[in-house]
Amino acid sequence: MSTQRKSILSGRMVQRAILDSFRKLNPVMMIKNPVMFVVELGAMLVLLQMLLPGILGRSSHTGFNIAVFVILLITILFANFAEALAEGRGKAQADHLKKTKQQVMANKRVGGGLRSVPSTELRKEDIVVVSQGEMIPGDGEIIEGLASVDESAITGESAPVIKEAGGDFCSVTGGTLVVSDSIVVRITNDPGESFIDRMISLVKGAKRQRTPNEIALGTLLAVLTVIFLIVVFTLKPIADYLNIELETAVLISLLVCLIPTTIGGLLSAIGIAGMDRVTQYNVLAMSGKAVEAAGDVNTMILDKTGTITYGNRMAAELLPVGAGTEAELANWAAISSQFDETPEGRSVLALLRERGLIYDELLARSGDSIEFKAETRMSGVDLPDGRRVRKGAVDAIRRWVAEQSGQIPDDLEAVTHRVAVAGGTPLAVAVDAVIYGVIYLKDTVKPGMKERFEQLRKMGIRTIMCTGDNPLTAATIAQEAGVDDYIAECKPEDKIDVIRREQAAGKLVAMTGDGTNDAPALAQADVGLAMNSGTVSAKEAANMVDLDSDPSKLIEVVGIGKQLLMTRGALTTFSIANDIAKYFAILPAMFMLAIPQMSVLNVMKLGSPLSAVLSALIFNAVIIPLLIPIAMRGVKYRPMSSQRLLSRNLLIYGLGGVVAPFIGIKLIDLFVHLWI
């Protein structure tokens, strides 16, 4: 995972979460969580019995009733605290964003001149001019000029980025600072609809929409709650018929321990924390559905350039031809690259340093630079002694040498073909009429990509690389990177076709993009991750935006989505497994006095019926805060098949959920029994 992850907790956040825990006791808010709402109703009924004993029958155990009420109240507060704590980071991040959303003055074009107006008066399609040192007043697209823009207020990245009119890097965000030059911007949003406005509303966990899986699980928990409500209410008339006295507080305790209170109290926190983990990696999810969908992705579509590879062709090898030696080729290649500030030119000098090869640097610096031109497809140096050193496309160098009546080495074509077949780009190096060799340039695969794709394969995710390269180059890079499939000479419509084909087979598809031509595919994909440096249309089409503009982060997002689903499943398993021990604690306690044979179920040998009930209730309450760190941080995800993952979780959280309450309730009972 990225190193950008920030701390989840702070003292101020915890304090605010504690206050919110009490505010959330409002029944209007509690009813959104049916499980915890039933617990609150139970607490109110126990309180009502203590205050008005004539309504729900008298109780001979006032101290027990008080203890039950306090434990139930603490259970609710713990559940509210989990949700409030998960929301806390979103609110803190929203507060930080509000500070960046300051009122600035804009130079708006009106007629033939400029007029200074507040940014709140700007509307869509307005044209503004932003110069060095000025804040960009609103979201827009550059229509004239080029500038260096400080986006640290949005991305946290201190290094400015270059933005220019046209292409895929013309989008600018309101609240960012122009640090050089001047640009003309067309505003693309009305007030209240800016990127920061959307970020503020989205990072607030309280306004998070529940995902389909979360709704389904919530419905299941509600159904289980209703079932156990019916079971517990029918116990009362049955007990009365058998002349067994069951007090209201005991029945409510049984109900609270039977219903899945643990997962009910943590469900919202898990969902909110899942979205929060995405924002911690500087990815803005437009909804929880996008994060959850990432966890179910079967196919991942990735661009080659900038995602799988660095995108810059780098010198990988020096291949002499004819009578030339590697030392001679290295010397002339370095001299021809002395004034070449492109990544390719710098990589030639870096390769010489790496190989321990030397060149005549003084001679190189004494020459006159010959810049690369599209017409000649060459660059190089003219030396003071009249020699001309050139580096460029093989066919261009071949013609240049032929014009000087030079000889073309017999093995030049074979070496050039070898480089091309390997997916590289050959650059020939010549001095006057002599060709010394070929520089092998290749688009280097980023370190660790092959291992990451292997991890995705273990998750059951198929990777497809899209590239505009020819089939030979595409095949070479695909093999080196370890992707499952590739599309060479890929056009925008090809991406949509492959997405639709995968979706038609019942698969969920994720992809990244930054350009306007990527927008249709981003909209079609189940998970579309747009780059913040990209166009407005790409960001609007996607359901996630990476503020760092790192296309490979899609792999991290999928891991976070799977971690969210796994956390929810693991804690649900643990919660339901917990109930087994509670049955053995409360059921014997309820009937043991009237039916002595029920004592055989008291496998934990709990001290007394009342201490058994209280011990189960206390365990039911304290397990929620103990699980909050797991709900917030997420269960550690390891790439493996779904079957192995299920077996592992059943072993750890299923078996653990059965065993832990037996131990916990027994230990609590040792202390509670002394008080009772």
**Has 168 been labeled as part of a binding site?**
no
Known active-site residue 432: no
Please check if 20 is assigned to a binding site.
no
**Which residues have C-beta within 8 Å of that of residue 75, sequence separation ≥ 6?**
39, 256, 261, 265, 617, 620, 621, 624
Catalytic residue among 20, 126, 139, 303: 303
CA distance 269 to 80: 9
- To the question of whether residue 391 is assigned a binding role by annotation, the answer is yes
DSSP string covering 527-538 = EEEEETTS-HHH
Please, what is the Cα angle at 528 between 523 and 530, to 5 degrees?
Answer: 105
Residue 164 is labelled as binding a ligand: no
Would you say 592 and 599 are in contact if contact means Cβ atoms under 8 Å apart?
Answer: yes
Does 339 count as an annotated binding residue?
A: no
Cα gap 140→184, rounded to integer Å: 10
- Give kind and range of the element (H or E) at residue 318: strand 309-320
Instruction: Say whether 139 counts as a known binding-site residue.
Output: no
Was 344 annotated as part of a binding site? yes
For 398-417, letters b (16+ CB in 10 Å) and e give bebbeeeebeebeebeebbe
* CA pair distance 511, 502, nearest whole angstrom: 12
Pairing of strands 309-320, 434-445: antiparallel
Tokens of 446: 């980023």
22 labeled binding residue: no
CA pair distance 230, 226, nearest whole angstrom? 6
- 376: annotated binding-site residue? yes
Q: Beta-carbon neighbour count of residue 114 at 10 Å?
A: 14
Annotated binding residue at 36? no
| Residue 393 and residue 441 in contact, taking contact as beta carbons nearer than 8 Å | no
377 labeled binding residue:
yes
Contact (CB, 8 A) for 148 and 213: no
Strand segments, DSSP code E, in 102-231 are 105-110, 113-118, 127-131, 140-150, 161-164, 171-172, 177-180, 182-187
Helix then strand count (H, E) for the chain reads 25, 21
> Is 328 part of any known ligand binding site?
no
According to the annotation, is 451 in a ligand binding site?
no
Q: Find, among 163, 174, 159, the residue nearest to 97 by Cα.
A: 174
Burial code of 664-676, b = ≥16 C-beta within 10 A, e = fewer?
Answer: bbbebbeebbeeb
Q: Give the C-alpha separation, 174 to 197, whole Å.
A: 10
Write out the binding residues. Answer: 340, 344, 372-379, 391, 514, 518
Write out the binding residues for Mg(2+). Answer: 514, 518
Write out the binding residues for ATP. Answer: 340, 344, 372-379, 391
Active site residues: 303
